[in-house]
Amino acid sequence: MRISSAESLIMEALWQKNPLSAEEVAAQVAAAQGWGEATVKTLLNRLLKKKAIAAEKDGRRYLYRPLVRREAYVQSESQGLLDRLFDGRLAPLVSHFSQAGRLSPEDLAELKALIEEIDDEPR
């Protein structure tokens, strides 16, 4: 399932708290994006058609909740990026960011700690 960048903003709102009405989703994301409530409702309908979210009638409104876990979405998107741009390999991605000067000292420290942690794990 492909979720667009606009749709992912709706998903983020629902992952943070759910269920939410369309009005509540709009209150969280619309202003920052310059969207109206109609745009949010269009995106919610797209996500419903993709079965990324579910809607439950609550009086005169619908409440929306995610059907896709954030972790599964992040894994799929991350793997897709690696596959498309780096032949499925992580090292060329890190190298790209390093060469572009995009790794902060904090990033480097986290990467070093992660590598040490992985090296210490029994295989």
Q: Tell me which of 122 and 8 has the higher pLDDT.
A: 8
CB atoms within 10 A of CB 66: 19
Distance spanning both ends of the chain, measured CA to CA = 33
Q: Can you give the residue ranges of every domain in the chain? A: 5-66, 89-123
Task: State the CATH architecture for 5-66.
Answer: Orthogonal Bundle (1.10)
Task: Give every strand in the sheet of 20-21, ordered side by side.
Answer: 20-21, 61-66, 53-58
Instruction: From 86, 89, 3, 99, select the one nearest 44 (Cα to Cα).
Output: 3
- The model's pLDDT over 17-26, given as tens digits with 9 standing for 90+, comes to 999 999 999 9
CB atoms within 10 A of CB 5: 6
Check residue 101 and give its pLDDT: 84
Q: What is the mean pLDDT of residues 65-93?
A: 94
Is the entire prediction scored with pTM above 0.85? no
Across the chain, mean pLDDT equals 94
pLDDT-derived band at 55, boundaries 50, 70, 90: very high
